[in-house]
């Protein structure tokens, strides 16, 4: 199989309360990644603001925007200038009273390829996303970009093998997960290592089960109440179809990773580990049930 090398860019950010400053930091990270050869570049979840879902506050709906809209226009121009594919995570206002957690994909000519709306919406202490976001209704999607077929999911989606599988079955070569996840500081000493390991492990396993590369892009830094809040754990990473981590960002600092991958290896991986071939699709009907009681 001939090599099909693509360079992936990961922009891990520490964010502020000012959208203009966050846009500036994102653009600087994108430019750095592109200068180092990245062709597909992903930003963290909801990168234009602090992670506002730590509390329920109606004022935060003012952060939302149309998708496509001003941010896709701005970053589309940047994608065209640099000749790169961009994945940008945005707070989408669909209509009055109707909002989504959405990722837009912009091709290397600046064109808008489409959007994915987060399907799984959490509701946990300091992660009160059900207050803000309607679950996605576009299904699981793949975007045929200049440099590869991209599957995009968002944060809480990363815990669900069904989402990764259905995205892979639509032809994704790479699964991207823009993310905002971290520790409750009071829990970190006791549970922090296990929480992080679980997060990393489940995503690497999606790559193994589906024969895909996985790219998880987190934010870093402490946000919220100084005595509580969330300590975002960074550690954005890229893993290959065998689950091997190819690059890992630090815990406590912004970072730009540029990672070469070979899409030509996917066919080899999937023929030697033929999980898609051996699926028993005739036996999986119960997967659509909430729970099997009998």
| Residue ranges covered by each domain of the chain | 12-283
Q: Tens of pLDDT along the chain (294 residues)? A: 566 999 999 999 999 999 999 999 999 999 999 999 999 999 999 999 999 999 999 999 999 999 999 999 999 999 999 999 999 999 999 999 999 999 999 999 999 999 999 999 999 999 999 999 999 999 999 999 999 999 999 999 999 999 999 999 999 999 999 999 999 999 999 999 999 999 999 999 999 999 999 999 999 999 999 889 999 999 999 999 999 999 999 999 999 999 999 999 999 999 999 999 999 999 999 999 999 987
Q: Which residues of 205-235 are buried (b: 16+ CB within 10 A; e: fewer)?
A: ebbbbbbbbbbbbbbbbbbbeeeebbbbbbb
Give dist(CA 175, CA 152) in Å, integer.
Answer: 6
Question: If we measure between CA atoms, which residue out of 236, 238, 244 comes closest to residue 269?
Answer: 244
> CB–CB of 42/178 below 8 Å?
yes
Res 294: pLDDT: 76
Please identify every residue annotated as catalytic.
45, 118, 155
Three-class DSSP category at 226:
coil
Give dist(CA 37, CA 20) in Å, integer.
Answer: 26
pTM above 0.95, yes or no: yes
Res 176: pLDDT: 98
Classify domain 12-283 at the CATH topology level: Nitrilase/N-carbamoyl-D-aminoacid amidohydrolase (3.60.110)
Res 3: pLDDT: 65
Q: How many CA atoms lie within 13 A of 42 on its CB side?
A: 28
Res 153: pLDDT: 98
Could you give the angle at the alpha carbon of 67 between the alpha carbons of 106 and 80, nearest 5°? 25
In the numeric block, which tokens belong to residue 164?
């990764």
- For tokens 């071939």, name the residue: 277
In the numeric block, which tokens belong to residue 83?
């000749």
Number of Cβ within 10 Å of residue 287's Cβ equals 9
């Amino acid at each position: 199989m001939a090599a099909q090398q693509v360079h992936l860019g990961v922009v891990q950010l520490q964010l502020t309360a000012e959208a203009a400053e966050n846009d500036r930091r994102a653009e600087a990270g994108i430019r750095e990644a592109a200068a180092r050869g990245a062709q597909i570049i992903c930003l963290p979840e909801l990168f234009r603001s602090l992670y506002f879902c730590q509390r329920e506050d109606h004022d935060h709906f003012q952060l939302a925007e149309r998708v496509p809209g001003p941010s896709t226009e701005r970053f589309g121009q940047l994608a065209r200038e640099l000749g790169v594919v961009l994945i940008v995570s945005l707070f989408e206002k669909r209509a009055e009273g109707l909002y989504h957690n959405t990722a837009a994909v912009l091709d290397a000519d600046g064109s808008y390829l489409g959007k994915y709306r987060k399907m799984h919406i959490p509701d946990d202490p300091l992660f009160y996303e059900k207050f803000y976001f309607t679950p996605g209704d576009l299904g699981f999607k793949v975007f045929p970009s200049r440099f590869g077929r991209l599957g995009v999911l968002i944060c809480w989606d990363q815990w669900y093998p069904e989402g990764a599988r259905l995205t892979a079955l639509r032809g994704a070569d790479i699964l991207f997960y823009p993310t905002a996840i971290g520790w409750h500081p009071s829990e970190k000493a006791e549970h922090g290592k296990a929480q992080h390991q679980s997060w990393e492990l489940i995503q690497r396993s999606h790559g193994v089960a589906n024969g895909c590369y996985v790219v998880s892009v987190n934010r870093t830094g402490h946000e919220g109440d100084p005595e509580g809040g969330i300590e975002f754990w960074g550690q954005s990473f890229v893993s290959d179809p065998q689950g091997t981590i190819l690059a890992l960002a630090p815990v406590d600092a912004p970072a730009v990773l540029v990672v070469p991958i070979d899409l030509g290896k996917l066919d080899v991986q999937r023929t030697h580990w033929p999980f898609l071939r051996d699926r028993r699709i005739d036996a999986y009907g119960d997967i659509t049930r909430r729970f099997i009681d009998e």
